Chains A and B, each alone.
Chain A
Amino acid sequence: MQSCPDNRYTGRKPGRERLKILLFLLAVPLLCLLSLLLGPSGIGIPDLSQPSGSSILALRFGRMLMGLVVGAALSASGMVFQALLRNPLAEPYVLGVSGGAGLGATVSILAGSSLALPLNLPVTAFVSAVITLMVVYGIASQGAGGSPSVYSLILSGVIVSSICSSLIMFLVSTASVEGLHNVIWWMLGNLQPVSPQQQVFSLALVLLGIAGIWVLSSRLNALTLGREMAHYQGINAGAVIVAGLLWATLLAATAVSMAGMIGFVGLIVPHVMRAMFGPDHRRLVPLASVGGGTFLVLCDALARTVLAPLEIPVGVVTAIAGGPFFLVILQRRMKQAWN
């Protein structure tokens, strides 16, 4: 038996916890401001007295907003998949969202229709992502009597993803040079601001998704103990799982339709936030959203500055810049996140 009084003080101290969260939330606007100072045209606030200066700032501001929304969506989505699937390797694309969206987008780009109608590409990507989720869920449910197991979900997700990627490869291999460039650029991911109406629409979807997840957060906590135990705690486990999967897919599909496929954010930011602030989802939902957004904003600022005037795809920067930093954090604090 642990009767040593020190035990009570080895864990989280509420005061220190709050301070940590406060510091983090203070750092967020500062980091966002920093991103406004970085760009291919030079470091620092552009000269606002000239029209070019104010338009540069407007451009940077637009990309910052894109980064915040896309990053938050990916991170929150990944967090939900990790909780529902009880698996640290889960990420927003685990159930084939990326494969489905990518296939839809590739078809749309190569068919040339993305130029004809401004909203065609994002809508196609979004719709095919949601269709893919339904296919994956349907397949996984077949053998399990209506409610799929975590393993059958992951497995059928991986298989459907592979099929989609092969189809994309096939389409790419037969594409013209110009189409090829567009497809690859889209798949690498970038935060070029989308049309205003799409921005408003996407922002609404992402806010809705995050709110939906936040409402589920205490139930997500219970579900990490497994479906059976969650049921005994008075939770409608099946309904929560379906709702969580839907919200998470909505977020991931929205992010993909805005910015293409940006990897790493949805996998690693939830882990880091969990390592820093513990696995309680009531806190983790807002923190992971804010954290993911800020991370992507910073990565994008780096992407357009480091090799200026050349711009590196932001999806490349997320892993290169974020990888080592997060490895250090995880190596030191993984115990606080997963067993």
Chain B
Amino acid sequence: MIEHTQADSPALAFRDVSSGYRGREVLHRVSFTVAEGEFASLIGPNGCGKSTLLKTAAALIRPVSGSVSLFGRPAEHIKAAERASLVGVVPQKLESPMAFRVGELVMNGRISSMGLFGRPVAADLDIVERAMIYTDVLSLRDRYFMELSGGEQQRVALAMVLAQEPRIIMLDESIAHLDINHRQEVLQILLNINREQRITVILVSHDLTLAAQLSDRLLLLDGGTLVADGAPQEVLRAELLSRIYNCELQVRKDPWSGELQVSGDLVTGRRRMALDRRIHVIAGGGSGIELYRRMLIEGYDVSTGVLNKLDSDAEAARALHLDVVLEQPFSAVGNACYREASLMAASADMVVVTGVPFGSGNLVNLSLADEALRAGKPVFLFEGIGSRDYTEGKAAGRKAAELLAGGAESWSSMHELLAHLQKSFQS
């Protein structure tokens, strides 16, 4: 019996889908639907699960839980050959180790519709020809695929997927490497087939401005969960994006076209070199590395300690040429080191405590923050010290509470902390 796709069901629906690879779940309980004929873009930082979502939608990865349906039918019940006529995926890069010519490669798009021995009929040849004309690769027909430039290869890959005549086309960052004229062309092709043939397009994109310009719908993923889903103007909010991408971003509306533009701040002059602000960081166990990096990029002088030798933060501090006070490996912070760190912190403009766990060995480091606070310098504590407190009698938690009562501030997002630092230094 042939199950027909229902006319009014969504082209793609995720219901509570968790998915990933062996031993590593990437998507967590993601739910959304994309209607037939929609142009949707998947956005989100690197590693947020965009590609995994595409692979799950195309049934390359079976979800751990939840269900994926295509045109109202459970994806796992759709046979491979029929699935190819519903969903086509243009990969990030297509690689062919053997010397296939462009024409032969595009013909692959018809495989699942051809017979046992793969003999194309006239209709197949027409479809392939049309796909090649559409993507402007007809003149490359007899060239070797792997000899083409990256952009040409991408257009051949698109032609191959178009030759499948799928009802949904998904593109995985496939246009990122095209030069501008062919990028515009490919996007125009996508828009045309979307508008004229009601083919659903799902685009994974890093370019937020472009995604906003093209799409009816944006799906914003972060850490494997769907954090926003809606029209571009609903999803592209500076405050949300800055938090998700963990950097300062602006969203502007072009006064003439009404298009949304997302941009970050780049300090291009020499200003940042002259910041001449010094920050002492109390870290350990790898909790400081990202903060060191970001602070150095922003142009601060960074000192850190007391750390134990062989600690990953100590290794990073040495590699980054930070001023650092080092205690012997695996031993408690001694008086000599503490006095050295105290001098170092005294020359800093502020003290930041990272999400380092505290035990009896490094508890004394919190006194550095105490001294700074008494000297009238701003002190920032990463929230939840109590939950990382391994000292007897929860001494670190009590100390932190005292510091907060004495005027120290709590921080949780690095991006907010850095924005805050900048503001406080400007005033």
Contact = CB atoms under 8 A, between A and B. Distances in A.
Contacts of A336: 99
Nearest to A11: B142
B111 A222 contact: yes
Contacts of B164: 233-234
Which bracket fits the contact residues of A? Answer: 35 or more
Given A145-B22, A217-B118, A335-B144, A231 B60 contact: yes
A233 B98 contact: no
B143 to A, nearest CB: 7
A195 interface: no
Interface stretch (A113-121, A182-190, A275-283): A275-283
A217 B140 contact: no
Contacts of A2: 139-140, 143, 152
Contacts of B88: 232
B234 interface: no
Interface string A222-237: 1011101101111110
A64 B419 CA distance: 83
Interface string A278-298: 111010000000000000000
Contacts of B202: none
Contacts of B22: 145
Contact of B100 (A10, A214, A218, A279): A279
Given A2-B139, A222-B111, A232 B60 contact: yes
Contacts of A279: 98-100, 104
A231 B170 CA distance: 14
A338 B142 contact: no
A328 interface: no
A218 B136 CA distance: 25
A268 to B, nearest CB: 16
B80 A231 contact: yes
Interface string B127-158: 00000000010011111101000001000000
A214 B98 CA distance: 18
B58, B87, B104, most chain A CB atoms within 10 A: B104
Nearest to B119: A282
Interface string A207-227: 000000011011101101110
Interface residues of B, number: 46
Interface in B69-103: 80-85, 87-89, 91, 94-101
B231 interface: no
Given A8-B141, A224-B96, A229 B118 contact: no
B80 A235 contact: yes
B142 A339 contact: no
A7 B147 CA distance: 13
A339 B116 contact: no
A274 to B, nearest CB: 7
Contacts of A337: 98-99
Interface in A1-44: 1-4, 7-12
A224 B95 CA distance: 8
Contact of B118 (A12, A87, A282, A335): A282
A167 B8 CA distance: 65
A23 B154 CA distance: 37
B111 A235 contact: yes
Contacts of B111: 218-219, 221-222, 233-235
A10 B114 contact: no
A218 B139 contact: no
B312 interface: no
B256 interface: no
B80 A86 contact: no
B357 interface: no
Contacts of A3: 139
B108 interface: yes
A337 B59 CA distance: 32
Interface in B143-197: 143-144, 146, 152, 161, 164
A167 B262 CA distance: 66
B98 A338 contact: yes
B114 A218 contact: yes
Contacts of A225: 94-96, 105, 108
B84 A218 contact: no
A337 B91 CA distance: 24
Interface in A70-104: 83, 86-88
A88 B100 CA distance: 15
Contact of B60 (A219, A222, A228): A228
Contacts of B82: 234
Given A233-B164, A234-B80, A7 B89 contact: no
Contacts of B85: 234
Interface in A268-322: 274, 278-280, 282
Interface in B105-125: 105, 108-109, 111-112, 114, 116-119
Contacts of A10: 142-143
A212 to B, nearest CB: 12
Contact of A12 (B87, B89, B142): B142
A274 B112 contact: no
Given A8-B141, A234-B82, A278-B100, 15 more contacts: A8-B139, A215-B116, A222-B111, A225-B105, A232-B60, A232-B88, A233-B112, A234-B83, A234-B85, A234-B111, A235-B111, A279-B100, A280-B100, A336-B99, A339-B144
6 smallest CB-CB distances across A and B, nearest first, come from A11-B142, A234-B84, A218-B118, A234-B112, A279-B98, A339-B146
22 contacts: A2-B139, A8-B139, A10-B143, A88-B97, A215-B117, A218-B117, A219-B111, A221-B118, A228-B55, A228-B60, A231-B58, A232-B58, A232-B84, A232-B87, A232-B161, A234-B85, A234-B164, A235-B111, A274-B98, A279-B99, A282-B117, A282-B118
